[in-house]
Amino acid sequence: MLGKLFGRKKGPKVGFIARVKQAFSLDRLMGLGLLVVFLGIFVTEPYPLEFLRIKTFDFFQKQKPRTIPEPRFKPVTIIDLDEKSLNEIGQWPWPRTTVARMVNNLMKMGAVLVAFDIVFAEPDRLNPTGLAKSIPGLDKETREKLSRLQSNDAVFGRILKRSRVVLGQSAFWEDREIKAEPPKHKSVAIRSQKGVDAKKFLPHIPDIIRNIPVIEKNGKGHGMFTLIPEPDGIVRRVPTLFVYKDKFFPALTVEMLRVAFQRPTILVEADVAGISRIKIANKRMFPPKGLTLETDSKGRV
């Protein structure tokens, strides 16, 4: 009707075969092929592309590095085992009673929490029972008295139980016959879109190096301090979550924040593109917007 009003003429009818040829013309097929290639590169992330990406990141960092503002107060104190402390207290590893005394003093000084980026994976070599067996020349009565004394590990565990301490754990990248058990306390909750499995975006580890049971069970939190370097061996991003035996394990820093804010769990949000953020504290506890860690699609910061 409009064609008649404005004097427009109808064009010739295009047949089915002509329409098919037009839909699958050479230029369109080339465009579709390029789209498939680019999608394949995006999904597989081959090493040359990843290498180019990280080197571009390094270039931008050198040209205009991010400025980190000075904190208004000193939120974190690092206790370093330097030459002075080793000369004063003795060679490392120190007796667990010494470490327990350090934790107790830190709590008395007002520390919100204490975190260890080491693993107490073996019993203390200076436990009384071990000394009773290893020191030559002891009489039977002395050996029996030493054997009846409480172990240094038990003393350390008792201090941990009444303190706020986050214990470290480390990934073990080889399969072992006896594997560590998954966590008994679930400290990670997942909120994802329907049909999305958040585990597929996170690093999976074959095994975990943990603390001995008397220490492990008395920690208020447990976090991984494992780093995964880039293909060129440089660490640019740090994982916030790991997967072991189909369970989620938080990184040490994330677990420290959870325990510091006394939260039962952290909330991980994921969609079809991957991990998006980790929510640790709500607006009431951390005004005005709450405490949230923005991550990349693989849960790294």
For residue 266, what are the contacts with CB-CB under 8 A and spacing of at least 6? 187, 188, 189, 250, 254, 257, 258, 278, 279, 280
Residue 255 belongs to some domain of the structure: yes
pLDDT in tens, 119-176: 999 999 988 888 777 788 788 888 888 888 899 999 999 999 999 999 999 998 887 7
Residue 89 belongs to some domain of the structure: yes
pLDDT in tens, 65-96: 888 778 777 788 888 888 888 999 998 889 99
Task: Please tell me the pTM assigned to this model.
Answer: 0.80
Residue 129 belongs to some domain of the structure: yes
Residue 2 belongs to some domain of the structure: no
Tell me the residue range of the domain where 251 lies. 83-294
Question: Domain count of the chain?
Answer: 1
Residue 36 belongs to some domain of the structure: no
Residue 278 belongs to some domain of the structure: yes
Residue 162 belongs to some domain of the structure: yes
Confidence band of 5 (pLDDT split at 50, 70, 90) = very low
pLDDT in tens, 198-250: 999 999 999 999 999 999 999 999 999 999 998 888 899 999 999 998 899 99
Residue 55 belongs to some domain of the structure: no
pLDDT in tens, 104-117: 999 999 999 999 99
pLDDT of residue 13: 55
